[in-house]
Amino acid sequence: MCVHACACRSQPVPPRQPWHAGAWLLPAAFGEGDTTPAAAASASHRCRCGGKARPLLTHPWLCLLTELNALQNELGPYGLVVLGFPSNQFGKQEPGQNSEILPALKYVRPGGGFVPNFQLFQKGDVNGAKDDALSPLLQNACPPVAEEFGNPKNLFWEPLRNHDIKWNFEKFLVGPDGVPVMRWYHRANIAVVKNDIIAYMRQQQQQQQDQDQ
């Protein structure tokens, strides 16, 4: 269901669908951080993990969302496309209808007129028996960012699997060939995420230059 819920800069929330090849950063879902342990996995096979936990922010929603806006502004001209996939599986923090997502961001949480400059998709499951087709591909290609789960009372899916997305704002980087490249803990410092993406883009550019010679 795609609905204009507000007459401001809100736009319809599109349905989930297969992505086209590109350098994309995919925040798994939106919500406030939980108390999941900070242990992050080390490098592994074709997709590696990055980022360690940072102190809980005073206003995590506003900080994290504005950081994603800034990331899209800074790296968008170089090919980065940020995509957001809302989910209600983490603490029931996204209970509204799809038509309410953008207005809620603008007027409630984080509020203050916030408008995302990146694409948001319809709400859906990212873990469990009813997860979408995209999430398992990302999860299975990348090692888990942490071995432990948070409070099971705040996790609304079954069964729990080691590679599951552990909490809102976990992020994935997908390369131009459609292959997942990197995965970050949900509290990874955005500066670390940005530097990792820049390093990857430079590597891709160098490989292209070598092929052209």
How confident is the model over 120-130, as pLDDT tens digits? Answer: 889 999 999 99
Check pLDDT > 60 for residue 172. Answer: yes
What domains sit in the chain, N to C, each tagged with a CATH number?
A: 23-212 (3.40.30.10)
pLDDT digits (tens, 9 = 90+) for 128-141: 999 887 888 888 88
The pLDDT value recorded for residue 87 is 92
**Across 150-175, average pLDDT:** 92
Residue of 180, 4, 19, 136 whose CA lies nearest to 84: 19
Lowest-confidence segment of 6-10, 58-62, 130-134, 147-151 by average pLDDT: 6-10
Other Cβ atoms less than 10 A from the Cβ of 192: the count is: 15
Whether 17 has a pLDDT exceeding 50, the answer reads no
* Gap between the Cα atoms of 170 and 148, Å rounded: 14
Mean pLDDT on 179-208: 89
pTM of the model: 0.75
Check residue 129 and give its pLDDT: 93
